[in-house]
Amino acid sequence: MALLLGVARVFFAICFLFVSLDGAHNANTFNVRNYGAVADGRTDNRKAFLKAWNDACNQKGNSRVYIPKGVYMLGTVEFSGPCKGPVTFLMTGDLRAPTGPSLSTDQWIAFRYVNKLIVKGGGTLDGQGASAWPFNECDKNTNCKSLPISMRFDFVTNSRIKYIRSINSKNGHFTFFACKNVNVSRIELSAPADSPNTDGIKIGSSTDIRISSSRISTGDDCIAILSGSTNIDISYVYCGPGHGISVGSLGKFQGEDNVKGLVVRQCTFNGTDNGVRIKTWESPWKSTASNFIFEDILMDKVRNPIIVDQTYCPHPPCNQQTASHVQIEDVTYRNIWGTSSSQIAVSMQCSKNVPCKNIVMKDVKLGNLRGEGPLKSWCSNVYGRVYGRQNPPPCF
């Protein structure tokens, strides 16, 4: 994995040079500097960026919005379609968010209703999160206002996001909602381990999303798969620090759609709170989470390598009135190895109303980082099968 990430950084550098030359000389390139953008890190360039986007979006055939090298301050902006042809957002320069919490909006940069979008270029999104994190009160106030997500994709289809960095997001880094057929590769997302709610990637109500060859180090979930997501493939992702890769939380709201079809493979978790996690609320709202495969995964000093939590309550009390009604089924854990930093390396606390079923574990080999006796599994309301070598010993 370390070699892979090193190769990825080399590709970043090569891409930097290539896209700069390619973007600067194409006849259908719309350079934001030609629209008045100033790379001084202080001037709000949203008007120039929007004008460049609108011209590119209305251009027939392939077009590019080109951001040359430099630091551009950019206020809240929404790039909307549909467009007349494919658009590339060629970001060789760095974009800097305004300081402060920006509580009047839930996003910094958004792409909406765009088909065949490419976002690339090797540039960096700087969310300036340190100026906003002290205003995050969501652990104390359930009616809190959310801080803005760095880059949001809504109703985006047949698209690619690659060779982009995001640092210090005020809230999450990337969010995908109602998207279809999107490839995300060779990105780097980072925020301090103690930064609040800085999820790397959130995916909701989307299908055919692929995330690969990326590094995510943040203060919340590296990747969160939310309700309505189907056919999600995650591979060669390095996660840490962070809260792992999570399905959920699910079941908090009435009418949530099912989550079906997730593969997490060839990933590394280093020093994370969790490894692979499924979390649901104790509520009467019904849905299913099914057809998941977690395989070929390295856990390095992970506190909860494998965890299913159907009593999820991040900020007690949660006024639980019933057991969870989210059915978890057809989940396979295969070839998972490494070290656990806690005694309980496998925890599956499933619902007494709808027990987990058809859970398969094959060759799960975890060691005790602290050497304080054998590791343990802790299960309730789980039905399934176990194959191959198992440490800790299985509990169902």
Digitized pLDDT (tens) for each residue of the chain, 396 residues in all? 444 445 444 444 444 444 444 444 455 999 999 999 999 999 999 999 999 999 999 999 999 999 999 999 999 999 999 999 999 999 999 999 999 998 788 999 999 999 999 999 999 999 999 999 999 988 777 778 889 999 999 999 999 999 999 999 999 999 999 999 999 999 999 999 999 999 999 999 999 999 999 999 999 999 999 999 999 999 999 999 999 999 999 999 999 999 999 999 999 999 999 999 999 999 999 999 999 999 999 999 999 999 999 999 988 888 777 999 999 999 999 999 999 999 999 999 999 999 999 999 999 999 998 777 899 999 999 999 999 999 999 999
Element (H, E) at 25: helix 2-25
The pLDDT value given to residue 315? 84
Torsion of CA 252, 282, 307, 354, to 10 degrees: -110
Rounded to whole angstroms, the Cα distance separating 361 from 137 reads 39
356: Cβ contacts below 8 Å, ≥ 6 apart: 308, 310, 328, 329, 331, 348, 350, 381, 382, 383, 384
The pLDDT value given to residue 319? 73
The pLDDT value given to residue 26? 52
The pLDDT value given to residue 11? 43
Match 């304080």 to its residue by tokens: 372
Match 């359930």 to its residue by tokens: 142
Token pair listed for 60: 């027939």
The pLDDT value given to residue 369? 82
Question: In residues, how long is the chain?
Answer: 396
How many angstroms separate the Cα of 110 from the Cα of each of 57, 77, 296?
15, 6, 34
Rounded to whole angstroms, the Cα distance separating 334 from 388 reads 10
The pLDDT value given to residue 14? 47
Using alpha carbons only, what angle is made at residue 390 by residues 389 and 396, rounded to the nearest 5 degrees? Answer: 125
Which DSSP state fits 73?
A: E
The pLDDT value given to residue 371? 72
Q: What is the pTM of this model?
A: 0.93
44: Cβ contacts below 8 Å, ≥ 6 apart: 73, 74, 75, 98
The pLDDT value given to residue 53? 98
Catalytic positions, written as ranges: 220, 243
- Interstrand relation of 87-91 and 117-120 (parallel, antiparallel or unpaired): parallel
Bridge partners of 211, per DSSP, are: 184, 234
Contact 167, 191 (CB under 8 A): yes
Which DSSP state fits 81?
A: -
Closest CA to 91 of 60, 57, 115, 126: 126
How many angstroms separate the first and last alpha carbons of the chain? Answer: 32
